[in-house]
Structure 1
Amino acid sequence: MKKGLKKALGLLVALSLMVVGSAFSALAADSPEQRQTFSVDLNNFDESQPYSETLHFEKDGQPVTVTLSYTPPLTRDPATEGTWKSDAFWGVAGMDYRFDLSKSGSQWKISNARDLNTYCVGGTVEDESLAIGRATSTSSKAAEVTGSMRANVVGGVGTLSFALRTEVFNGEVSTVLN
């Protein structure tokens, strides 16, 4: 009898652990970690087609939307040139900008950063800037363009500062919100 009771208790404990483990696995599956950056592999990219990718996530309790899109040129000389647009919306403020991307030997070149558009719903924008930090990628460093701004939200809610950086490195375009 004692031996049977021990086996039954052991089986009950094992089943309980499996149920608890399954519950934690199910909870983890329901709330996957949100991806906050994305990359585009330029070595396998069809420059003749438009492209757009958007991510939605939360940062500091605020909803964030980051988008990277590509518009092919009207002419195809050379075939790797094109206009890209990066944009982000964070809570009540956002920005977008455009830049051109072309191949320079084995590296990639960012040029003609333009059309910085910043906005704050119910507030004002200060210190907006758009700059190319490195025009041409190297074997160890990315070409990059960064838009930045500070939004003052009306009603004493506070100030929101952020930068939207787009990098090109090893044939990939990445957009990151800082």
Structure 2
Amino acid sequence: MKKILKIITSLALGFSLFVGFSPATSNATAGQSTPTVDLSTNTHVDFNISSVDPTEPFIQIRQYKDTEGNPYTIGMRYTPSDNITPLSGGSSDSVKVYPGTWTASYDGMAINMSYDFDVEKSGTHWKISNPRNHQYSGWFTTFSDAKLSISRATSTASFPAEINASAEAKIFDNMWIQIKSATCLLWTKITDGGLITTYYN
């Protein structure tokens, strides 16, 4: 019994040494190697939002490994509303509303983070609104000073619309002795051209 407890404790400690954030599946194809990226580098997932059908669910996830070989993923998910009605006024090219929920997420071995928001388009600009459901959790980790805010609601020709999430994390060993602290950052941008990108650092 003592041996089993020792193994479980060792695994938990190993998990607690890694800091990261959240999605659910990988878009890597068979035989494709997973990128190895230093945690100080901005890693991301991106696609053109104009290609997404607002009546259908959508998910895009990218998998990485840190320099120690630990996997983590960054993802974007769109969940359409149960009640979608046709838009009145304007053409589909100039006005496009996504009456559902967008979720940005990061999933690491020790820490997870996600948040929800809404998106709509009018003319050549994209708008982010209603930031909500900022969630974070971790192995042997405590969080403080969590923030979720929109730094720029509407994109312009020069600057993207942007939503930002952060939290201060303190990571402990299995005896609850602090071994590391980190600022967890996850943010999403949408350009006028419709490129939506979620970053983690």
The secondary structure found in structure 2 opposite 1:37 is strand
1:48 corresponds to = 55
The residue type paired with residue 47 of structure 1 is P
Deviation by residue 1:61-84 (Cα, 9 ceiling, x = unmatched): 343221210011222354522320
Worse overlay, 144-153 or 30-39: 30-39
1:157 corresponds to = 179
1:173 corresponds to = 196
Shift of 1:31: 5.1
Matches within 5 A, 1:114-133: 114-133=132-151
Shift of 1:30: 7.7
Separation of aligned partners in 1, 2:163 and 2:155: 11
Separation of aligned partners in 2, 1:165 and 1:97: 9
Asked if the contact 2:44–2:198 (Cα under 8 Å) also holds between the matched residues in 1, the reply is yes
Where relative contact order (Cα < 8 A, 6+ residues apart) is larger, the structure is 2
- TM-score, normalised to structure 2, is 0.67
1:87 corresponds to = 105
Cα separation, partners in 2 of 1:105 and 1:31, compared to 1, 3 Å: closer
Separation of aligned partners in 2, 1:60 and 1:128: 27
Deviation by residue 1:46-68 (Cα, 9 ceiling, x = unmatched): 12110012222123534322121
Identity rate, percent: 29
- TM-score, normalised to structure 1, is 0.75
Shift of 1:44: 2.3
Cα separation, partners in 2 of 1:50 and 1:32, compared to 1, 3 Å: closer
Of Structure 1 and Structure 2, the greater helix share is in 1
Residue-pair matches, total: 150
**Structure 1: runs of 5 or more not aligned:** 1-28
Q: Rg bigger for which structure?
A: 1
RMSD, aligned CA: 2.2
Deviation by residue 1:158-177 (Cα, 9 ceiling, x = unmatched): 11322111111111211110
**Structure 2: runs of 5 or more not aligned:** 1-30, 38-42, 88-95
The residue type paired with residue 106 of structure 1 is T
